[in-house]
Amino acid sequence: MSLDKVVLVTGGNRGIGRAIAERFVSTGYTKVAVTARSGEGPAGTLTVPADVTDAASLDAAFTEIEATLGAVEIVVANAGITRDTLLLRMSEQDFDDVVATNLGGTFRVVKRAAKGLLKARWGRVILISSVVGLYGSAGQINYSSSKAALVGFARSLTRELGGRGITANVVAPGFIETDMTAELPEATQAEYKKNIPAGRFASADEVAGVVTWLASDDAAYISGAVIPVDGGLGMGH
Ligand code: NDP
């Protein structure tokens, strides 16, 4: 395994992104960068400030990483938000903000990274989607649409860049214990749990292990795949 590849995880200051960055470091990767709007990434990472809705701030972040660690080779597009409410109450702003972060942010990050991946003729693009992208979720029209779109994104990228040693895959977590899910009402959490065959929620580290595996040589022939990490919640989707 090439542990000297340059890794970038967006939103690496907390939640799933932080656990992913921690797992890259504990696996032995020596060049791990995270973006953060606030706070810091875990020990052993380079933290660069960036807002994924802002191409200029991302460009500055990449430039700093390139100067310090080298060109990014493993991109984990993780930063994401929710603005949950039922369709009839959902404002255009609620819709646009979520799409601009979850889908637009992924576009901006991957586009900025692509030149370097093409030059290296090697790359791993890993997009953090969600089980609700394909399963659907009442109150999450904006969020589930933005997450479903990542499947088309990864598959189109696979068709564009798959011949250049670059893979693009989607990881679709189910219910992971982070700040994002802590916001959900108790009743919603209980409802989810009833429907999860594993009968429990997961830790962010259980997502992280799948991401580092997708980045490894063992996953070199996997591209355009959607890997669920959901305890069976979304089976068949
Ligand atoms: P958190 O809310 O705990 O963390 C979200 C992260 O994204 C934070 O680091 C946050 O930065 C960052 N972020 C949000 N907006 C922006 C932005 N505009 N620019 C840069 N960074 C931004 O979420 P999770 O860790 O739970 O979720 C991480 C990913 O996993 C998301 O894409 C989410 O949709 C997905 N996911 C989560 C699931 C769960 O059950 N928790 C299930 C399925 C998918 P800051 O601290 O500055 O706000």
CB-CB contact of 48 with 64 (8 Å): yes
Residue 96 resides in a domain: yes
- Which helix or strand (DSSP H or E) is residue 15 part of? helix 15-27
Which of 18, 180, 226 is the pocket-test mutation for ligand 1 (most atoms within 8 Å of CB)? 180
Q: From CA 119, how far away is CA 139, in angstroms rounded?
A: 42
Structure-token pair, residue 80? 């994401």
The 10s digit of each residue's pLDDT in 41-79 is: 999 999 999 999 999 999 999 999 999 999 999 999 999
Please give the backbone phi and psi of residue 73, each rounded to the nearest 5 degrees, phi first.
-115, -25
Q: From CA 77, how far away is CA 11, in angstroms rounded?
A: 8
Which of 81, 99, 110, 196 is the pocket-test mutation for ligand 1 (most atoms within 8 Å of CB)? 81
- What is the position in ligand 1's atom list of the atom closest to the CA of 13? 9
For position 69, what pLDDT does the model report?
Answer: 98
Closest CA to ligand 1's atom 34: 80
Please give the backbone phi and psi of residue 4, each rounded to the nearest 5 degrees, phi first.
-100, 10
Return the active site residues. Answer: 143
The pTM of the full predicted model, rounded to 2 decimals, is 0.98
Which CATH number is 140's domain given?
3.40.50.720
Give residue 111's domain range: 6-229
Pocket (CB within 6 angstroms of ligand 1): 10-11, 13-17, 35-38, 51-53, 78-81, 101, 105, 128, 130, 173, 175-176, 178-181
CB-CB contact of 38 with 13 (8 Å): yes
What count of Cα atoms within 13 Å lies in the side-chain half-sphere of residue 211? 32
For position 237, what pLDDT does the model report?
Answer: 66
Residue 126 resides in a domain: yes
Q: From CA 121, how far away is CA 164, in angstroms rounded?
A: 5
DSSP structural state of residue 40 = -
Point out the residues of the chain with pLDDT beneath 50: none
Which of 9, 13, 14, 171 is the pocket-test mutation for ligand 1 (most atoms within 8 Å of CB)? 14
- Which helix or strand (DSSP H or E) is residue 45 part of? strand 45-49
For position 186, what pLDDT does the model report?
Answer: 87
* Total tally of structural domains belonging to the chain: 1
- What is the position in ligand 1's atom list of the atom closest to the CA of 207? 30
What is the distance in A from the centroid of ligand 1 to the CA of 214? 20
Q: From CA 154, how far away is CA 225, in angstroms rounded?
A: 8
For position 188, what pLDDT does the model report?
Answer: 82
Residue 236 resides in a domain: no
Residue 237 resides in a domain: no
Residue 235 resides in a domain: no
Residue 21 resides in a domain: yes
Residue 154 resides in a domain: yes
- What is the position in ligand 1's atom list of the atom closest to the CA of 100? 18
